[in-house]
């Protein structure tokens, strides 16, 4: 009988802390040893010339999320979305269980489980989206769900069907403080966006490009400052998600320098797309392919985002995978969307490209180290969202969720390579250096050079511990 189920031999292991030559021994779905001459195994994978990194954790994806009647369906459910994830080297996703207004929180979570159960190619957990913070939700349901492993939730400062007013935000923050949950905040101001949208529409400026003009950086900066101020008042940590440029980044940096527990997330689109993309061909509808919120900015904003990444302002780099179809009446070109940018569904696919683009622009172009790459794509997500020390590193005791990475392989991102159900990729034509060549989930090879070997149902739901980053400051404890 062999010592191990699997040995990954001859690669260079990379963790958030170290880079070292070692074999990795796996038994029962977990890493049991790293080192040399470890023993025999039923199966050996030759990883020479490859980086051996923890599987990606994407803590911000939207799958099978349907929030309001009459709005378009998402292109990806759990099956296609997580298939795309493993093809891109990601082995855990955290998706959002939304509470439609008027609905109970637990019933919403249970319904969402029904969409994921038996469907997922990778492990998954749920954040909650709180749209209706009634006394029952804040007093009973939310604390009880946090106790059951749904230890983070998102609130919105915009969107008709999601927005919370300032008093509601304060109440939700207070509840999070009480139960130790981590609050993620979508920072864009509702009234400012409405004002801008109506003004642009009156001027006949309705093409997708004006989506960006309707929510400039000042709108994001104002909301970020307001959220930070409320969090300071309540004394609760917050995570400001999908930061798009300098203005919001500087708010987070300012808060951090004040000693507040304010964390930041940024995403692929904010280092790879610009507002120019939303012009499409000659200000036509094809710009709708790039419509997401906050909108992509400009190249100076890419630099600001890198400044925040390198300076430690951002803890996590996510995809904000939020896919809609391009063709057909259920997607970006739905009939209403042709009348104004305000009806173009907000969101783009990208779970498969997150690590490719970040590695290429980050590591291959010399902006960050290999270890920073692992921290920002995996380890920090695990730590921030209560999955550490089970996920997020290459060390004995961790789940054997591993990506073998060819740092020298050059590819051009194209829809023909994608495994999602969406009918386009916003990163079409982007040349990258660095590519995932094999993905393992719990020690099983689930993707080999783009060939999916895993099955729906391989992935399991992950109840999560409280985030160690979510406790209030000692100041008011
Ligand atoms: N917020 C997200 O987090 N994703 C897509 C759209 C949005 O507004
Ligand atoms: Zn958002
Ligand atoms: Zn999102």
Instruction: Tell me the pLDDT of the chain (477 aa) as tens digits.
Output: 999 999 999 999 999 999 999 999 999 999 999 999 999 999 999 999 999 999 999 999 999 997 666 778 999 999 999 999 999 999 999 999 999 999 999 999 999 999 999 999 999 999 999 999 999 999 999 999 999 999 999 999 999 999 999 999 999 999 999 999 999 999 999 999 999 999 999 999 999 999 999 999 999 999 999 999 999 999 999 999 999 999 999 999 999 999 999 999 999 999 999 999 999 999 999 999 999 999 999 999 999 999 999 999 999 999 999 999 999 988 999 999 999 999 999 999 999 999 999 999 999 999 999 999 999 999 999 999 999 999 999 999 999 999 999 999 999 999 999 999 999 999 999 999 999 999 999 999 999 999 999 999 999 999 999 999 998 776 554
197 and 319: one domain?
Answer: yes
Whether the CB-CB separation of 82 and 89 falls below 8 Å is answered with no
Host domain of residue 204: 56-363
For the Cβ of 322 lying below 6 angstroms from any atom of ligand 1, the answer is yes
Q: How many domains does the chain have?
A: 2
| 462 found inside a domain | no
Pocket test for ligand 1, best of 346, 348, 349, 422 (most atoms within 8 A of CB): 346
239 and 308: one domain?
Answer: yes
245 and 264: one domain?
Answer: yes
38 and 19: one domain?
Answer: yes
* Separation CA 169–CA 173 (nearest Å): 6
| Lookup: tokens for 404 | 């073998």
Question: At 214, phi and psi to the nearest 5?
Answer: -75, -15
Whether the CB-CB separation of 196 and 219 falls below 8 Å is answered with yes
For the Cβ of 293 lying below 6 angstroms from any atom of ligand 1, the answer is yes
49 and 61: one domain?
Answer: no
Question: Of the residues 305, 339, 363, which one is the last residue of a structural domain?
Answer: 363
Residue 320: Cβ-neighbour burial (10 angstroms; 0-12, 13-18, 19+)? buried
200 and 289: one domain?
Answer: yes
Q: How many CA atoms lie within 13 A of 247 on its CB side?
A: 17
| 159 found inside a domain | yes
Ligand 3 centroid – CA 293 distance (Å):
8
165 and 232: one domain?
Answer: yes
Take atom 3 of ligand 1 and give the residue whose Cα is closest: 320
112 and 185: one domain?
Answer: yes
CATH code where residue 305 lies:
3.20.20.140
46 and 150: one domain?
Answer: no
Whether pTM > 0.85 for this model: the answer is yes
Residues 173-198, buried b or exposed e (16+ Cβ, 10 A)? bebbbebbbbbbbbbbbbebbeebbe
| Lookup: tokens for 17 | 């802390």
List of residues 6+ apart from 176 with CB closer than 8 A: 153, 182, 183, 236, 470
């Amino acid at each position: 009988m062999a010592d191990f189920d699997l040995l990954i031999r001859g690669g260079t292991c990379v963790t958030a802390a170290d880079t070292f030559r070692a074999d990795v021994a796996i038994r029962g779905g977990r890493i049991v040893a790293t080192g040399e001459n470890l023993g025999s195994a039923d199966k050996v994978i030759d990883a020479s010339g490859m980086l051996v990194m923890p599987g990606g954790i994407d803590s911000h994806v939207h799958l099978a999320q349907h929030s309001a009647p009459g709005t378009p369906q998402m292109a990806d459910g759990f099956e296609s979305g997580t298939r795309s994830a493993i093809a891109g080297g990601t082995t855990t996703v955290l998706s959002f269980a939304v509470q439609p207004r008027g609905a109970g929180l637990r019933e919403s979570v249970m319904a969402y489980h029904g969409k994921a159960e038996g469907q997922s190619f990778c492990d998954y957990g749920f954040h909650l989206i709180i749209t209706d913070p009634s006394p029952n939700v804040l007093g009973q349901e939310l604390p009880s769900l946090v106790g059951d492993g749904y230890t983070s939730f998102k609130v919105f400062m915009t969107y008709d069907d999601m927005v919370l007013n300032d008093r509601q935000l304060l109440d939700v923050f207070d509840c999070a403080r009480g139960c130790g949950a981590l609050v993620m905040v979508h920072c864009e101001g509702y009234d400012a966006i409405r004002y801008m949208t109506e003004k642009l529409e009156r001027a006949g400026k309705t093409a997708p490009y004006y989506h960006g003009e309707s929510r400039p950086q000042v709108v994001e900066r104002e909301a970020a400052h307001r959220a930070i101020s409320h969090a300071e008042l309540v004394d609760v940590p917050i995570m400001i998600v999908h930061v798009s440029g300098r203005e919001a980044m500087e708010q987070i940096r300012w808060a951090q320098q004040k000693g507040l527990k304010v964390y930041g997330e940024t995403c692929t689109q904010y280092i790879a797309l610009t507002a120019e993309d939303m012009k499409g061909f000659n200000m036509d509808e094809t710009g709708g392919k790039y419509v997401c919120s906050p909108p992509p900015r400009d190249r100076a904003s890419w630099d600001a985002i890198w400044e925040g990444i390198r300076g430690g302002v951002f803890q996590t780099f996510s995809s904000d995978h939020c896919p809609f179809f391009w063709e057909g009446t259920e997607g970006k070109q739905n009939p209403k969307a042709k009348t104004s940018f305000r009806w173009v569904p907000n969101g783009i696919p990208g779970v498969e490209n997150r690590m490719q683009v970040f590695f290429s622009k980050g590591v291959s172009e010399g902006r960050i180290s290999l270890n920073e790459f692992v921290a920002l794509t995996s380890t920090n997500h695990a730590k921030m969202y209560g999955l550490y020390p089970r996920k997020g590193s290459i060390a004995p005791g961790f789940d054997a969720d591993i990506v073998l990475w060819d740092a020298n392989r050059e590819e051009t991102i194209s829809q023909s390579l994608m495994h999602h159900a969406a009918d386009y990729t916003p990163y079409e034509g982007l040349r990258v250096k660095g590519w995932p060549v094999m993905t393992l989930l719990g020690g099983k090879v689930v993707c080999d050079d783009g060939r999916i070997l895993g099955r729906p149902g391989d992935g399991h739901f992950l109840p999560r511990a409280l985030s160690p980053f979510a406790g209030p400051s000692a100041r008011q404890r």
